[in-house]
Structure 1
């Protein structure tokens, strides 16, 4: 367990001329309400000037970009960065975001691995018929060149899991300059990563950290060529219809278990899919649809998930997310309202475990639905909360739509074909695979390169 921070950390903006400490600063508090950091919020003029300077900047050559990201991977994982060694960084994130410290440590390692393999990821996203550069000899007779759709990417970063920051460095690898707006729930991870990239060889005008209020955040997206935005349903509604913005909204990830398999043989997979990494990620299972009576599965899930205990997030044994007590109570009230009409197997009397310091752990919940298309099945909450419903082949795949991941525990190849053909399902795992399975080179919600790049026909002398 890391030592608590002795004094508030100053988190400056990192602009094209270096650190900038604004007169307008926002306190960053931990889950108990104690101030642990002070975040400099930049004015709109600073943001506009920064993006203009970044657009004028020339990217590093491709091989130098990849090499610098690989160097940054080691710095990010191992060195003291922005004044914090790795363990102090993990402690700060766990206390502020409420993410179990073991999850933060694992994300530190996995992010470093994905950065070290960034070339693999960006090459996997490139169409097989394209070349990287118009100088390629194949362009003498005509070739498709993989080209950027713009120069600057703005990222509205999330705070629910530090591992989400492993994605946007792919844009740097492709030659974009990247401006990151950190979440106040976790400003430490983007600060650490941007600083590591600077130390590894990226110029100040290649990648910046721009903390802002909401108004300036919108101007960042307007003035950038491309935007990457994370958030809930409200954020999706706000930016829906903007072709230059890629939305990373609720995952509404699901598992379907057909009658030709025995769910008891896959219980570990189902439990882990619901609860791993604190159960707060978009790739954690929100709903489980089972062919037949789901009661026995509900009972087994309630027994397994009910054994998880609430601990302070910096405790090495913590596995559940922690929120300020008032926030936890609001989440609990929302759950209880939403669950009206369902059968509660776990969490029906509340999910708040008061830790006695102004914070609370969110205990798991299991609720049984009467049908697979019940509205609760689409409700995603930031802790291990799962809705279990009966499903039949006659219900089809309609209840499985609008899902980031569907794990299909089945021997029914026709069902798998239909899941893969469904545009509203981003990823399909067949068999006993955790919903949170990811690997460098595989798309998350499509390849980021599909959004950032395009193919251009080139023929040259």
Structure 2
């Protein structure tokens, strides 16, 4: 007997809401798993107005509530799912390996517990957080919000990004989240945990919508965060919405460094967590002949197993067959003219129970400026090419993370100074390295907050 679909209600300012209009959420095999309520524009408008009217909790209360929510998210039962059921469901629906979902869930729980520290890491050293601080009697910078309501258009390729917007709650924003219809379970569970922990329904809301209504959430907020491709970056650049686009993370190995000593790190940078994240390496550039490195990468990546995403041994992501074939077709088209070391005949391996795993691909390009270096795909797909000092920083621009294996301080100086490179890791550090308190793509607080001078008697 088939299980009844999980009902994922919208979570508005008056509580849970279930509409007649619902979206079926399927797993990678095409089986229905849940029904997600889609709310109309009127519901969005009422909820956003309620968030604007609400009074922000005092900082100690919201920090304590976030810590409680982190524990509830990790250990509680929501939508009938305990921790194991949640992880398995997210894996089945998103195609992300269940071990990766477990890591992401632990990171979200930790982020909630530490948000009171990490959110304030962006505060300027000369500023204080409260106008009542003794420093303001002589005049001081006070770090204050740029608005009151923050909206999030969430990503669905990985649960991890949901750890970021918790910092907005820590800073006193009320938050409205539009979940991805690909994977709505993580934000639904997180918002329920936050409400149980002490945030009112007019402080954090979940607003599933169709695409036509989605922009209303961002429009009715003071500031927003949106995930997507280059089109999203272009749409929102310079606005009150912070776009989070492709990472195009890279590795550079210069001639004074033997890549063989760092092959484990290079392989892991490409394949860690199924290769689905913006901090996975999509390009490896080497000073000298790139062929031996491409060959070694291909040999290592070819050994990764093909397993259903909910299998504890799975390390590769899965997709419905149709979308996997579409990605494969796109890859083969973009790879025209390159040398295929792995995946040249395709990357899709269908699973017996339905769905398909996307296997790794390694292609060698002819030059550092090859157009393929801008192609980022949601599985371990890497472009390997040559680099020389005459190429300079140009081919390395527009990187979320750049791991550079070099002995050249002057080169590192240039890379750190380059505005379009967000993070520079020198030495044997994988591109996916991150820890609480360090910026991912700058601190979110840099966008959410400003300083103003306050002096008082």
Give the TM bin, normalised by the shorter chain: over 0.9
Q: Is the 1:321–1:361 contact (alpha carbons within 8 Å) kept by the matching residues of 2?
A: yes
Q: CA deviation at 1:120?
A: 1.8
- TM-score, with length taken from structure 1: 0.98
1:313 maps to which residue? 309
SS in structure 1 of the partner of residue 175 of structure 2: strand
- Take 1:120 and 1:431, find their aligned partners in 2: how far apart are those partners? 28
Distance change in 2, residues 1:411/1:5 (3 Å): farther
1:217 maps to which residue? 214
- Take 2:117 and 2:405, find their aligned partners in 1: how far apart are those partners? 29
1:174 maps to which residue? 171
SS in structure 2 of the partner of residue 50 of structure 1: helix
Q: CA deviation at 1:6?
A: 2.2
2:64 maps to which residue? 67
The answer on 1:199 being equivalent to 2:196 is yes
- Listed one character per residue, the Cα deviations across residues 21-71 of structure 1 (whole Å, up to 9, x for unaligned) are 011101101101111000000000100110011001001100111111011
2:155 maps to which residue? 158
1:115 maps to which residue? 112
Q: CA deviation at 1:5?
A: 8.2
- Listed one character per residue, the Cα deviations across residues 271-291 of structure 1 (whole Å, up to 9, x for unaligned) are 000000110100000100001
1:361 maps to which residue? 357
Q: CA deviation at 1:79?
A: 1.5
Aligned counterparts, 1:36-185, within 5 A: 36-185=33-182
Q: Is the 1:82–1:195 contact (alpha carbons within 8 Å) kept by the matching residues of 2?
A: no
Aligned counterparts, 1:273-312, within 5 A: 273-312=269-308
- Take 2:343 and 2:448, find their aligned partners in 1: how far apart are those partners? 43
1:420 maps to which residue? 416
Query: Could you tell which deviates more after superposition, 308-317 or 380-389?
Result: 308-317
- Listed one character per residue, the Cα deviations across residues 280-337 of structure 1 (whole Å, up to 9, x for unaligned) are 1000001000010011101110000000122111011111010000101100000000
- Take 1:207 and 1:323, find their aligned partners in 2: how far apart are those partners? 31
Task: Work out which of the residue numbers 181, 187, 190 in structure 2 matches 1:190.
Answer: 187
Q: Is the 2:249–2:279 contact (alpha carbons within 8 Å) kept by the matching residues of 1?
A: yes
- Take 2:15 and 2:139, find their aligned partners in 1: how far apart are those partners? 43
SS in structure 2 of the partner of residue 10 of structure 1: strand
Aligned counterparts, 1:424-443, within 5 A: 424-443=420-439
The answer on 1:238 being equivalent to 2:206 is no
2:265 maps to which residue? 269
The answer on 1:16 being equivalent to 2:13 is yes
Structure 1 outlier segments of 4+, above 4 Å: none
Task: Work out which of the residue numbers 348, 367, 391 in structure 1 matches 2:344.
Answer: 348
Query: Could you tell which deviates more after superposition, 356-365 or 323-332?
Result: 356-365
Q: Is the 2:7–2:79 contact (alpha carbons within 8 Å) kept by the matching residues of 1?
A: no
- Take 2:425 and 2:78, find their aligned partners in 1: how far apart are those partners? 37
Q: CA deviation at 1:357?
A: 3.4
- Take 2:179 and 2:43, find their aligned partners in 1: how far apart are those partners? 16
Distance change in 2, residues 1:67/1:5 (3 Å): farther
- Take 2:39 and 2:181, find their aligned partners in 1: how far apart are those partners? 14
- Listed one character per residue, the Cα deviations across residues 104-150 of structure 1 (whole Å, up to 9, x for unaligned) are 01111121112211122112111111101100111011011111000
1:399 maps to which residue? 395
The answer on 1:454 being equivalent to 2:433 is no
1:327 maps to which residue? 323
- Listed one character per residue, the Cα deviations across residues 156-177 of structure 1 (whole Å, up to 9, x for unaligned) are 0001110110000100000000
Structure 2: state its 5+ residue gaps. none
- Take 2:76 and 2:25, find their aligned partners in 1: how far apart are those partners? 23
Q: Is the 2:286–2:385 contact (alpha carbons within 8 Å) kept by the matching residues of 1?
A: yes
Aligned residues: 457
- Listed one character per residue, the Cα deviations across residues 356-392 of structure 1 (whole Å, up to 9, x for unaligned) are 3331000000000100110001100000000000001
Q: Is the 1:270–1:434 contact (alpha carbons within 8 Å) kept by the matching residues of 2?
A: yes
Q: Is the 1:148–1:453 contact (alpha carbons within 8 Å) kept by the matching residues of 2?
A: yes
- Take 2:137 and 2:236, find their aligned partners in 1: how far apart are those partners? 42
Distance change in 2, residues 1:221/1:284 (3 Å): same
SS in structure 1 of the partner of residue 161 of structure 2: helix
Q: Is the 1:75–1:81 contact (alpha carbons within 8 Å) kept by the matching residues of 2?
A: no
SS in structure 2 of the partner of residue 37 of structure 1: strand
- Take 1:47 and 1:389, find their aligned partners in 2: how far apart are those partners? 48
SS in structure 2 of the partner of residue 289 of structure 1: strand
SS in structure 2 of the partner of residue 238 of structure 1: helix
